[in-house]
Amino acid sequence: MTVAEAAKEFLDQKTLAVAGVSRSGAAVGNGILKKLKDSGYTVYITHPEAEEIDGEPCYRSVADMPAVPDGMVITTTPEAARAIVEDCASAGVARVWMHRSFGNGSFSDEAAAVGKEKGMTVIEGGCPMMFCEPVDLAHKCIRWIAKVSGKMPDVG
């Protein structure tokens, strides 16, 4: 499956979750959360400490959410990704997307391996905002650069 196919399949879902939303509002996860909500998705926030962010309830784990999301966007540190993937697998989440634009982002080889072992679709980088319509100019450019440079993420 190509990343474009995996992104379409991921974004065809209607209930998603984001890990890595910040109380300060300055994290990548906050932008992704806003884009998904503005695009009509039901989006849950998983956060180990916050009870709410910007009026949105936060959940310590996927099991605490009112419904199991169809996919999880991970925008945390790579060190936190494995535990999030394991939490998703335990709750029955079928898809995870580890955000990465430049550098390592949230990607972890160990987390990706766990997700694949559990039968999950794992998008190993990039950003949902590169594919969630309407795509803004900055994310169109990032998508194009990733494609022509051969740095488009893998899907497992």
* CA terminus-to-terminus distance, the chain: 8
**Alpha helices (runs of H) in 26-156, residue ranges in sequence order:** 28-38, 78-91, 109-117, 137-149
Distance CA 6, CA 71 (A): 11
155 DSSP β-pair partners: 123
pLDDT computed for residue 143 by the predictor: 86
For the segment 5-10, the average pLDDT, to the nearest whole number, is 94
Three-state DSSP at 97 gives: strand
With CA atoms as reference, report the closest residue to 124 among 27, 20, 2.
Answer: 2
Tokens of 31: 């932008």
The pTM score is 0.93
Summarised one tens digit per residue, pLDDT across range 27-55 is 899 999 999 999 999 999 999 999 999 89
Considering only residues 149 and 97, tell me which one the structure prediction assigns the higher pLDDT: 97
Report residue 156's pLDDT band, with 50, 70 and 90 as the boundaries: low
Q: What is the CATH class of 3-149?
A: alpha beta
pLDDT computed for residue 149 by the predictor: 84
| DSSP one-letter code for 103 | S
Report strand pairing: 121-123 vs 56-59: unpaired
What residue spans define the domains of the chain? 3-149
